[in-house]
Structure 1
Amino acid sequence: MSSKVKQRKTANEATLETTGVNEKILRECHELYTDPQSGLVKIAEELGVQILAPRKKITVLLIGNHSAGKSSFINWYVEEHVQKVGVAIETQGFSFVTSGKKRESLTGNATLHLYPHFQSLSEIDGVVDYLNTEISTSKQKKFPLITFVDSPGLVDGDMKYPFDVNEAIIWLGGLADLIFVFFDPIGQALCKRTLNLVEALNKHHPDRIRFYLSKADDAGNETDRQRQVLNLFSHYTEISKGFFGTFFLRRVMIQIAQELCKRPGLNRQGFDMPTIYIPNPNKTVRCTNQIEDVCKDIEKTITQTVQNTLNMLEKDSEKLIGAMKEKLDRDVETRRRNRSNVFWKVAYYLMSLTFPMLMVLSLISHGGLQGVTEALVGREYVSVLQSALAPVKVAWNVIPRDYERTVFIVLVGLSIALFFLASWLHTVKPTLSTKRRNALMHMVSHVEKSVIPRKKELYDQYLRQCVADHDLI
């Protein structure tokens, strides 16, 4: 693939406008999540709910054998020479290429600080020293919305990597939105390490992988390209045992398609490998260049990411509102139960003390302490007390003398039981403080009246790029 990068030219206004709107939407969605005062992530942490802030850019991971043209493609897309290219293995580590305010290069630790969601990559021994980020000011195509991850060239044999390159690529594939696999046309595509990695990635992320036959302008004539595709496919069928689906490639012999249709294991998914190369006006090439289709695939992923981000914003908002309202409703129910427990606690205490109090009052008004009571408070007060306790005396006299002891024991036992029941009901569950309740209600109001309406406004801005204003409700 030619390393020559064409001169940067001004993108058309529609592309710039679309990129600007999508960039703004993704940025604002990210801020709605990460705002330190009222962001959804902060609210979720307080509620113990797990949500993740969306990224502001999509991640495109490029893998392939040594000299497959990965770095050249990035340079062409960015329209700036940010990556070294050549026959030698120029990319020995992982290089992140992103858009920013000024041209800058970052080392491993700075890269992980810039991309905290890649922090777990540091757990792979030796990889941090082979991480770097190239920041470009380019605004070409959709680059402001993309982070390219250029991986080390893959080779077999005695080549020693300073870290576990397979583990690192598989881990990055889990976070990437797109995985571009570049195969060169000179036989290096049969690198076993590349094929093993592609097979491993396809097990978990088949929808993210795209295959490209790069440097197609160096592949010779049409017969040579067909032979290379045949060789590549025959090697895949030997190692993958049904890994790839129907093999659709332009101008490839009909017999290949017929052979694929005979194999049920190869009919599970379509397999396409467009031919791409860096356009060079000084070079005459007769093969089809589908490199613009790569750009369209990136644009499609960006638009899908914008939609997914807006949809996730709504779902997370509803999830947090539900969690907060549930917490408030539980607090209301807890307060109601606490009031009920307090009421019955007091009632049981009073009932447990009723019989002992009546016994004592009867003793001092009718029993042996009557004289002492009259001397202390006077006969008139004792008479009033006797009148009040007259129903109790009548009820007690109704009880046969043989059962008085039994009734007495039952009443004492009932008083003790009521006392312990009242003690058991003393447990009052903790409730939210007034300050905390007000804070939760404020957060509910913020999400309902600020975040969700803002999400609708952002969705309208997104839709205005493709539909008329009168179509928006």
Structure 2
Amino acid sequence: MSGRKPRSVANPLESAITTPSERILKECHSLYVDSDNGLVKIANSLGVRLLPPRKKIVVMIMGNHSAGKSSFINWYVEEHIQKTGVAIETQGFTFITSGRKRESLTGNATLHLYPHFRPLLEFKGALDYLSAEISTSKQKKFSLVTFIDTPGLVDGDMIYPFDVNSAITWLGQQSDLIFVFFDPMGQALCKRTLNIVERLSDTCGDKLLFYLSKADEAGKETDRQRVMMQIVQELCRRPGLNKCGFEMPTIYIPNPQKPSRCVNQIDGVCQTIEKAINQAVQKTLNQLEKDCDLISASISSRLEKDKSDVSYNKSVRLYSLLYGAMGIFLPLLFIFSFIVNTFVKEHLEELIGEGLAKILSNLTVIVLYLWEWIPEDGQVVVVILFMASCYLLLFLAKHFSRQRNKTLSKKEKRSLAEYNEYIQDIVKTKKGKLYEWYLQQCAAEYDL
């Protein structure tokens, strides 16, 4: 038995409290992934691809090594999850999220937990430096947040085991927020960090937020201002980063034993995360409405197409029957005309009756007249052409019979109608109630 001490957790599982936002996101997610009537399953049956919404927002934290990224995560979660120190402790990507049990996951298990991050496999070597830490903490808004702790960035001879610049850029594009921590102790102007920030600004400029971390260690206020000016000047020198002004709040981990006069805006970081969660709830509810409309429109389109296909099949069937009847009737009429002509009129009338005999005589007269009109040396050619024409008619009949489009069965039509009824009566109704409940919670919280 190992003598290793069990990890401490911020709070036991039994004390977990489901917040309104957490409940809404989970219920919306369940509407998508339900095994019987999930929106993803319904959409797939219609040839439409839907992605279930995330139950949490993703916050990526990047910066030079020892910039305080792991320390901030530990402070937010109120549990010592990530190693901290001056050395480059974080050499890979670590996903920190809340769950039912304290657990550590390796690369493959991490991608099973986060399947939408599987494209990380395209970065050779990254899988071996991918992990996840699951905590039972429910502090602050952690139950609705997944943090991504990125490798500490340095310049010089440091060799990373994978393309760290491209991997961080890709993860930033998948994140809801990107926190860039600048260390005031000498590594703030790390070129690798600035290069990645410049790349991210092209596609994720609205997600980027800059912070001067460990601000209490920067010395006097004049020293902090000088460091911030140097960082801002360096950022502004980059063509992709000089489009607008920068806000760079000063933050540090509060320590009652080491009071500091430096303004600490770390609570503002928490408010930023909470704001992103609220926006995620609204986006999820709005996307649910759009996806319901998309499915309903697809069902209506499928039913309209089926009506068009049924009408088309009727026309095709008519052409097939017409050409087939002509292909069979004409050669039979040709042969029958010569057979009838061999009978004496009186014998034919006695055999089938006077009225029917008269009708047959009129038909055969036309055929025989046309036959006698053809020269004898050309009759063989005409017969060949006639038979070829009859074969062409039969070929056209067969061709049109194969042109019919596949139509919906009664069972499929009933299923589509049930899906549409489920979308309108169940999903949209639930979405409306969730939105109303969310707004009521906001009004209660802010006394609106």
TM band (smaller chain): 0.7 to 0.9
Q: Does 1:325 align with 2:306?
A: no
Task: State the Cα distance separating 1:396 from its structure 2 match.
Answer: 7.4
Q: What is residue 192 of structure 1 aligned with on the other side?
A: 191
Task: State the Cα distance separating 1:154 from its structure 2 match.
Answer: 0.9
Task: State the Cα distance separating 1:419 from its structure 2 match.
Answer: 4.4
Q: Does 1:349 align with 2:324?
A: yes
Contact 1:364–1:370 under 8 Å retained in 2? no
Q: Does 1:368 align with 2:342?
A: yes
Q: What is residue 453 of structure 1 aligned with on the other side?
A: 429
CA offsets, 1:343-374, max 9 Å, x none?
Answer: 33223333444444444444344x22348x94
Q: Secondary structure at the match of 2:53?
A: coil
Supply the RMSD in Å over aligned alpha carbons.
3.3
Letter in 2 for 1:132: S
Contact 2:337–2:367 under 8 Å retained in 1? no
Q: Secondary structure at the match of 1:41?
A: helix
Matches within 5 A, 1:33-112: 33-112=32-111
Structure 1 gap ranges (5+): 1-6, 10-15, 245-265
Q: TM-score, normalised by structure 2?
A: 0.86
Letter in 2 for 1:160: I
Q: Does 1:276 align with 2:251?
A: yes
Letter in 1 for 2:256: P
My pick for the range that moved more, 143-152 or 322-331, is: 322-331
CA offsets, 1:44-86, max 9 Å, x none?
Answer: 2222222211111000000011111111111111111111111
Letter in 1 for 2:324: Y
Letter in 1 for 2:79: E
Contact 1:179–1:209 under 8 Å retained in 2? yes
Matches within 5 A, 1:150-299: 150-238=149-237, 240-241=238-239, 243-244=240-241, 266=242, 268-299=243-274
Task: State the Cα distance separating 1:215 from its structure 2 match.
Answer: 0.9
For 1:236 and 1:364, locate their aligned partners in 2 and report how far apart those are by CA, in whole Å: 102
2:283 to 302, 308, 318: 308
Q: What is residue 125 of structure 1 aligned with on the other side?
A: 124
For 2:79 and 2:316, locate their aligned partners in 1 and report how far apart those are by CA, in whole Å: 73
Structure 2 gap ranges (5+): 1-8
Letter in 2 for 1:457: K
Contact 1:363–1:370 under 8 Å retained in 2? no
For 1:66 and 1:359, locate their aligned partners in 2 and report how far apart those are by CA, in whole Å: 97
Q: Secondary structure at the match of 1:90?
A: coil
Contact 1:363–1:369 under 8 Å retained in 2? no
For 1:362 and 1:234, locate their aligned partners in 2 and report how far apart those are by CA, in whole Å: 103
Q: What is residue 429 of structure 1 aligned with on the other side?
A: 405
Q: TM-score, normalised by structure 1?
A: 0.82
Task: State the Cα distance separating 1:283 from its structure 2 match.
Answer: 2.5
CA offsets, 1:251-273, max 9 Å, x none?
Answer: xxxxxxxxxxxxxxx4x333110
Letter in 2 for 1:331: D
Task: State the Cα distance separating 1:418 from its structure 2 match.
Answer: 4.7
Q: Secondary structure at the match of 2:352?
A: helix
1:338 to 303, 313, 329: 313
For 1:168 and 1:348, locate their aligned partners in 2 and report how far apart those are by CA, in whole Å: 65
Q: What is residue 379 of structure 1 aligned with on the other side?
A: 350
Task: State the Cα distance separating 1:166 from its structure 2 match.
Answer: 1.4
Task: State the Cα distance separating 1:150 from its structure 2 match.
Answer: 0.7
Aligned residues: 430
Q: 1:341 to 1:400 in 2, by over 3 A?
A: closer
Task: State the Cα distance separating 1:433 from its structure 2 match.
Answer: 3.4
Letter in 2 for 1:437: K
State percent identity of aligned pairs: 52
